[in-house]
Amino acid sequence: MRYISALQRSHSTFASTRGGVVCIDVSEAMARTGGRGASGWDMRQIMSWIDEQLAARGIRDPRVLDAMRRVPRHAFVPDDSQALAYTDRALPIGNGQTISQPYMVAAMTQALMLAGTEHALEIGTGSGYQAAILCELTRLVITIERRPELAELARRTLAALGYTNVQVIVGDGTMGYAAAAPFDAILVAAGAPRIPESLKQQLSGGGGRLVIPIGTAEQQQLTLVVRDGDRFKESVLGGCVFVPLVGSEGWYE
């Protein structure tokens, strides 16, 4: 069972998973900023977290930093990890999956160079935290999760926090989502053995950007792909470690 709570249990949504019923309490997050914001935590702590862990390590995009301040990470973290919600580390969310390290979330988002008008695709919804960051920074987000129970929980959490510019899809993320292509930005939150051809072809031809971890199942290189017509320019941004991207154009389960 996963249980996500704010400080006071007055507004909850429920989802059924293989582990039972999950309670998601976001009352304080909703009350503080009309559905968004880092509630239930000392704002000085949050600002210090942003300055010390993100800005000091090279996150310079003010829109990304502002989004990281607004999205309440603790709303996406299981109850037994609440004390670690604002530490710079990945945390388990069940089903062998994790909520990504905040620095990596910010770095991948910054690499997409978002202006606010983008049609974005995320592969690997997980808890929904990265999707929430993208919702703050783009026009529309489609996020794909292959595990129905995680997709449902993320869908309910995002809705409870007031996000209306996101669609959560259950499916094979390595195939992308051709029905809504092309995408100005694609973010893959899992490690792949190679860049899925389907994702490359679903990038917008006029500068569409894809950020994806590429490498072995144990360690990857964060890679940025920029499309210009039929040409694709790849650049390596640095090392990283993600759970495997499972699917027809990724790793076998």
Strands 166-170 and 140-145: parallel
Q: What is the pTM of this model?
A: 0.83
Is residue 200 a contact partner of residue 188, using CB atoms and an 8 Å limit? no
Q: Is residue 253 part of a domain?
A: no
If we measure between CA atoms, which residue out of 41, 133, 124, 131 comes closest to residue 86? 41
Tell me, what CATH number does 192's domain have?
3.40.50.150
Q: Is residue 3 part of a domain?
A: no
Is residue 64 a contact partner of residue 46, using CB atoms and an 8 Å limit? no
Rounded Cα distance, 83 and 97, in Å = 19
Higher pLDDT pick, 163 / 20: 163
Domain total of the chain = 1
Higher pLDDT pick, 234 / 20: 234
Q: Is residue 7 part of a domain?
A: no
Q: Is residue 252 part of a domain?
A: no
Q: Which of 100, 127, 204, 248 is catalytic?
A: 100
Percent of the chain with pLDDT over 90: 68
Q: Is residue 251 part of a domain?
A: no
Q: Is residue 5 part of a domain?
A: no
212-223 per-position pLDDT tens digit? 999 999 999 999
182-214 per-position pLDDT tens digit? 999 999 999 999 999 999 999 999 999 999 999
Q: Is residue 160 part of a domain?
A: yes
Q: Give the rounded distance of the alpha carbon of 213 from its chain centre.
A: 14
| Alpha-helical segments (H) within the chain | 27-33, 43-49, 62-70, 102-111, 129-137, 148-160, 197-201
Mean pLDDT score of the chain: 84
Look at residue 141 and tell me whether its pLDDT is greater than 90.
yes
Of the listed ranges 5-14, 65-74, 163-172, the least confidently predicted one is 5-14
Q: How much is the average pLDDT of 154-177?
A: 97
Higher pLDDT pick, 91 / 31: 91
Active site residue 100: yes
Of the listed ranges 5-9, 159-163, 174-178, the least confidently predicted one is 5-9
Q: Is residue 247 part of a domain?
A: no
Q: Indicate the pLDDT class of residue 129, thresholds 50, 70 and 90.
A: very high
- Provide the domain limits for residue 156: 12-240
